Amino acid sequence: MKTNKNIIWRIEGKIKDGRRDEYEALMEEMVAEVQKEKGTTNYEWTIAPDGETLHVYERYKDADAAVVHLGTWAKFQERCMDVTDITQLTIFSELTQELEEAVAARNPLYMKPIGGFAK
């Protein structure tokens, strides 16, 4: 049985050439909107020293919270894809069928949890 607790994923990509300012403005807007989501526990954007490679770490308290976030993402998806090339979605949790179907188009890499803990 798949769990719906601690939904965690990371998005990797690159900022398109000459679009860094647009990317950062969009990031600020998205962070402000996602901060309103009660079930989002982590939403952390990072950038590599090359100034182009990006990672976004996302964690949700459960599957319902992740579904809510995907609704927020839908509002920004077109603009985000205009300024970035997303290269990988890595999932670190077992997803519900609803979430698996929702992210299937991104062809995610599933990392199966095998040990450790979260507090």
pTM: 0.91
Q: Which domains does the chain have, with CATH numbers?
A: 5-110 (3.30.70.100)
Token pair for residue 64?
Answer: 């319902």
The pLDDT profile of the chain, 119 residues, written as one tens digit per residue, is 455 588 999 999 999 999 999 999 999 999 999 999 999 999 999 999 999 999 999 999 999 999 999 999 999 999 999 999 999 999 999 999 999 999 999 999 999 888 888 77
pLDDT at 1: 43
Residue 30 in 3-state DSSP? Answer: helix
Token pair for residue 91?
Answer: 């999932």
Give the H/E segment covering residue 109. strand 109-110
pLDDT at 4: 52
Cβ–Cβ < 8 Å for 84, 16? yes
What are 105-117's pLDDT values in tens digits?
Answer: 999 999 988 888 8
